[in-house]
Amino acid sequence: MRFMLTIIISLIAFSSSLSSLSYAQQAEITSVRYWTSPTNIRVVVDLTNEVSYQVKESLLPPEILITIENTRSNNQDLLANNAAIRQISISQKDKNVSCVKIELTKKTTFNVFQLKKYQSKPDRLVIDINIPDVKKILPISQKEIELIKKRSKIVVIDAGHGGEDPGAIGPGGLQEKDVVLNIAKKLAGYFNQRHDVKAFLTRDGDYFIPLGERIKLCKHYDGDIFISIHANASPKENVRGSSVYVLSTEGADNKAAQLVAQRENMADLIGGIAKIENDVVASILVDLSQTQAINESLVLAKVTLDSMVSSCHTLSLGIGRAGFAVLKSIDVPSILVETAFISNIEEEKLLATDEFQELMSRAIYEATLKYLGVSSSVVSLVPPKGYKYHVVKKGETLWSIAALYDKSPQEIKGLNADIPPSDVVFVGQELIIP
């Protein structure tokens, strides 16, 4: 009897230890957040391990329900109230199962996938939700681009990183994605004061765009020049300076260029995409037109670096060549600008200032104009005698401008052949007013 009792006690203890071990191996939901882009909203759930999950969709009310097995979490609600999501709720369904409930404004399409732990990023569950009733169209049509191209060069400006991908982070906490977006917006503002150069941004807010999509945007906008803006980083805190990179089809020309390319090419792994777009980001065949573009890129890179060093008083680290994914498949002059080292405490302080961001954007602007062979002063159209001249400002439409001058939209269109059939006008566009 004593022997049987010992066995029973041992089995209970063993069962208890298994239960404890199982609990210890549970994944934990540590945080939840979301990012908003023009066409979709990304919800990210941080986890301590990989998980198994099931997805269900409810129509009335419209909800996405995700049950995650062998997890624990604290109950929490995240109020969103945006174009697609009302609220995100995390709850413990039972001791082994957590539930993520996303309340939608209305039924829409979505995609759920898991990202494995990568560098500083934990295991993540990602839910990409398309904003209802928003077509995945770009802000300007091909026909409108053709009209712009008749009188203007187009510069596509790419602010690196964004959203889930912060880029490099300085010792004081400054994030690369925020700095480069500010510089990109300022740079676009300079170009869009002109009538002979038009700028488009690949992103205008804090959201993630895969590297392949940035390339597609450049092609859609029929860009004459592509400029990707970044802030550099190094494990050595004393490293500082500015550099400009161009695409190399034969690998990096030095170790530093290789390290920079590796860091910038990790954006898709950090920012998170469901699958790698092999047709765009992977190895490509470089034709003669791209070889010519690389040669032109070197000219643009030299002019840009000279201007940056002269205007911003940074140390020149020279021009590098490497296999940057964001520069691949682009057959126009394309450069990747490393403005300064965010990992250097002094340059981080500079990058955080509006003054330095302004100097840097102005330097890149003047260099681009020099490359294009046009004056850096803002060139204005001369309206016919007896007519007025108006530069479109942010928030204005053809109808509001017409009302401002007590004219009809048709009268203004009659004097401005570059206003497209959609009646869309752009910030910085110069209109002749009757």
pLDDT score of 181:
96
The answer as to whether 67 is a domain residue is: yes
Residues 92 and 149 in one domain: no
Domain boundary among the residues 130, 160, 178 is at 130
Structure tokens at 419: 């206003």
Q: Which residue has the tokens 């990989």?
A: 50
Is residue 24 over pLDDT 50? no
pLDDT score of 362:
94
Residues 112 and 175 in one domain: no
Quote the CA–CA distance of 237 and 346 in Å, as a whole number: 10
| Share above pLDDT 70 across residues of the chain, in percent, rounded to a whole number | 77
Residues 118 and 147 in one domain: no
The answer as to whether 302 is a domain residue is: yes
**Residue 278 DSSP code:** T
The end-to-end CA distance of the chain, in Å, is: 108
Quote the CA–CA distance of 267 and 278 in Å, as a whole number: 15
C-alpha dist (Å) from residue 240 to 119, 314, 345, 362: 24, 8, 9, 20
- Backbone φ, ψ for residue 270 (5° rounding): -80, -45
pLDDT score of 131:
87
The answer as to whether 173 is a domain residue is: yes
Residues 326 and 227 in one domain: yes
In 287-403, DSSP assigns E strands to: 316-322, 334-341, 388-391
The answer as to whether 379 is a domain residue is: no
Is residue 15 over pLDDT 90? no
Q: Which of 201, 198, 189, 223 is nearest to 393 (CA)?
A: 189
pLDDT score of 216:
86
Residues 147 and 77 in one domain: no
Under a CB-based contact definition with an 8 Å cutoff, are residues 334 and 297 in contact? yes
Is residue 159 over pLDDT 90? yes
Which class for 236: exposed (0-12), middle (13-18), buried (19 or more C-beta within 10 A)?
A: exposed
pLDDT score of 225:
94
pLDDT score of 182:
96
Quote the CA–CA distance of 250 and 270 in Å, as a whole number: 25
Is residue 127 over pLDDT 80? yes
Is residue 348 over pLDDT 60? yes
Domain boundary among the residues 130, 156, 183 is at 130
Higher pLDDT, 291 or 128: 128
Residues 302 and 411 in one domain: no
Structure tokens at 33: 């957040």
For the segment 304-343, what is each residue's pLDDT rounded down to a tens digit? 999 999 999 999 999 988 776 666 666 889 999 999 999 9
- Residue 344 maps to which CATH number? 3.40.630.40
372: number of Cβ within 10 Å:
16
Range of the domain at 100: 24-130
Measured at the alpha carbon of residue 361, what is the angle toward residues 355 and 367, in degrees to the nearest 5?
A: 135
User: In sequence order, what are the residues at sequence separation of 6 or more whose Cβ sits closer than 8 angstroms to the Cβ of residue 3?
Assistant: none
- Backbone φ, ψ for residue 383 (5° rounding): -70, 155
Under a CB-based contact definition with an 8 Å cutoff, are residues 76 and 89 in contact? yes
The answer as to whether 344 is a domain residue is: yes
Residues 109 and 191 in one domain: no
Residues 118 and 266 in one domain: no
User: CA 360, 363, 366, 368 torsion: positive or negative?
Assistant: negative
Classify 101 as helix, strand or coil: strand
Quote the CA–CA distance of 404 and 70 in Å, as a whole number: 63
The answer as to whether 77 is a domain residue is: yes
Range in 21-35, 205-219, 233-247 the model is least confident about: 21-35
Residues 266 and 350 in one domain: yes
The partner residues of 53 in beta bridges, in order of sequence, read 68
Domain boundary among the residues 130, 165, 183 is at 130
Q: Mean pLDDT across the stretch 408-428?
A: 75
Residues 182 and 270 in one domain: yes
Quote the CA–CA distance of 98 and 88 in Å, as a whole number: 13
Helix intervals (H) in 313-344: none
The answer as to whether 205 is a domain residue is: yes
Structure confidence at residue 48 as a pLDDT band (50, 70, 90): very high
Mean of the per-residue pLDDT values for the chain? Answer: 81
Classify 152 as helix, strand or coil: coil
pLDDT score of 153:
92
Classify 201 as helix, strand or coil: strand
For the segment 236-280, what is each residue's pLDDT rounded down to a tens digit? 999 999 999 988 766 555 555 555 556 555 554 555 555 544 444
The answer as to whether 177 is a domain residue is: yes
Q: How many domains does the chain have?
A: 3
For the segment 65-98, what is each residue's pLDDT rounded down to a tens digit? 999 999 999 988 888 888 889 999 999 988 899 9
For the segment 378-393, what is each residue's pLDDT rounded down to a tens digit? 444 445 566 777 888 8
Element (H or E) spanning 159, and its range? Answer: strand 153-159
- Residue 399 maps to which CATH number? 3.10.350.10
pTM: 0.71
Higher pLDDT, 378 or 350: 350
Residues 224 and 318 in one domain: yes
Classify 206 as helix, strand or coil: coil
User: In sequence order, what are the residues at sequence separation of 6 or more whose Cβ sits closer than 8 angstroms to the Cβ of residue 119?
Assistant: 266, 270
Residues 168 and 289 in one domain: yes
Quote the CA–CA distance of 165 and 157 in Å, as a whole number: 18
| Share above pLDDT 90 across residues of the chain, in percent, rounded to a whole number | 44
- Residue 108 maps to which CATH number? 2.60.40.3500
C-alpha dist (Å) from residue 231 to 202, 213, 253, 334: 17, 21, 20, 17
